[in-house]
Amino acid sequence: MVDNGPARSIRDLLRNLAVFDTELPEFDVDAAPSDPVALFVEWLTSAVKAGVREPHAMSLATADAAGRPSSRMLICKDLDADGTWFFATSAGSRKGRELAGNPYAALCFHWPEQGRQVRVRGVVVPAGAERSAADFLARSPGARADALTGRQSQVLDDPSALDDALRAAHAEIEADPGAVAPGWTLYGVRAGDVEFWQADRDRRHTRLRYTRQESGWARHRLWP
């Protein structure tokens, strides 16, 4: 018998991890509201009440001009009645550059304590300078200082350079509390479709997809 060493150990570890090992809520598709925003607010509120950690965290997937995807976790900043989810970042960051050339994105909220996911796809539109500045100024001093360094995703050869840049950024904030990082942008993902996914221990997962239409939203239940 061939022993694959560490690879086998990792595979066994992964296969033995519990899945959906919690009390799962029910999802009555027939009782779901007619638009995804109302259902998202309902699920988000439920996640907050259930003590889900950082329920406003979501993955953001973008792709470059060649179609090569990248994904990362960040915080949802807002949601409007039209079905637009908001996040903020520097236009010069990797995701900002990718969105400039390919203005489409996918979001995913995952609340494992409830076996729930919400997936959002749509076109991405900058919210404008005024709202972007307001978002930046609402950030903590540390988060603003980090953004003011203006070097996200660049190679860091010397950690002391980061310390120097952060000191300079904090000094800039003290001198001008209204300073806003150049290129800081609040982006909105205007959903074309939104899927709500409820886990089931027997793998009879419940899936409901909303698709934007000219007259509103169409709803379709999906196979697990």
pLDDT digits (tens, 9 = 90+) for 112-136: 999 999 999 999 999 999 999 999 9
Is 78's pLDDT higher than 50?
yes
For 221, counting Cβ atoms within 10 Å of its Cβ (0-12 exposed, 13-18 middle, 19+ buried), the class is exposed
**Please, are residues 163 and 60 in contact by the beta-carbon 8 Å criterion?**
no
What per-residue confidence (pLDDT) applies to 1?
45
- The model scores a pTM over 0.85: yes
CA-to-CA distance for 172 and 136, rounded, in angstroms? Answer: 14
Distance CA 35, CA 211 (A): 9
Measured CA angle at 60 (ends 48, 51), to 5 deg = 15
